[in-house]
Amino acid sequence: MYARLLLVVVDILAPTFDRFCTTVRHLSESSALALGEAADIRLPMNEAIRQGSENPRQTMGLPVLSVVVPTFNERDNVAQLYRKLDATLAGMAWEVVFVDDNSPDKTWQVVRDLARQDSRVRCIRRIGRRGLSGACIEGILASSAPYAAVMDADLQHDETQLPKMLSLLEGGKAELVVGSRYVEGGSADSFDRQRAGFSAFATGLARRVLGVSIADPMSGFFMIRRDKFEQLAPKLSTQGFKILLDIVATAQGELKTVEVPFTFGSRLHGESKLDSMVALDFLGLVLAKFSNDAVSLRFLMFAMVGGTGLFVHLATLFVALEVLNWPFAEAQAAGALVAMTSNFILNNFLTYRDQRLKGFAILRGLFAFYLVCSVGLLANVGVAFSVYDQEPIWWLAGAAGALMGVVWNYAISGLFVWRKR
User: What is the tens place of the pLDDT at every residue in 124-139?
Assistant: 999 877 778 889 999 9
Task: Give the C-alpha separation, 392 to 400, whole Å.
Answer: 13
Angle between helices 297-318 and 276-290 in degrees, nearest 10: 120
**What is the CA angle 271-272-277, rounded to 5?**
125
User: By the 8 A CB rule, do 386 and 93 touch?
Assistant: no
- Does residue 284 sit in helix, strand or coil? helix
Comparing C-alpha atoms, which of 251, 193, 196 is closest to residue 218? 196
Across the range 219-237, mean pLDDT stands at 93
pLDDT at 222 over 90: yes
- Write the Ramachandran bin of 172: left for phi over 0, alpha for psi from -120 to 50, otherwise beta: left
Residue pLDDT, tens place only, 310-333: 899 899 999 999 999 999 989 988
User: By the 8 A CB rule, do 141 and 187 touch?
Assistant: no
Task: Write out the H or E segment, with its range, that includes residue 224.
Answer: strand 222-225
Distances (CA, A) of 304 to 132, 357, 397: 21, 20, 20
Using the Cα atoms of residue 268, residue 269, residue 275 and residue 280 in order, give the sign of their dihedral: negative
- Write the Ramachandran bin of 91: left for phi over 0, alpha for psi from -120 to 50, otherwise beta: left
For residue 130, the one-letter residue type is R
Q: Which range has highest mean pLDDT (138-147, 301-310, 375-384)? A: 138-147
pLDDT band at 9 (very low <50, low <70, confident <90, very high): very low
**What global pTM score does this model have?**
0.66
Across the range 9-38, mean pLDDT stands at 41
Residue pLDDT, tens place only, 260-309: 999 887 655 555 554 455 666 677 777 777 766 666 777 878 888 888 88
Task: Give the C-alpha separation, 269 to 113, whole Å.
Answer: 19
Q: Between 375 and 243, where is the model more confident? A: 243
Angle between helices 374-390 and 328-346 in degrees, nearest 10: 140
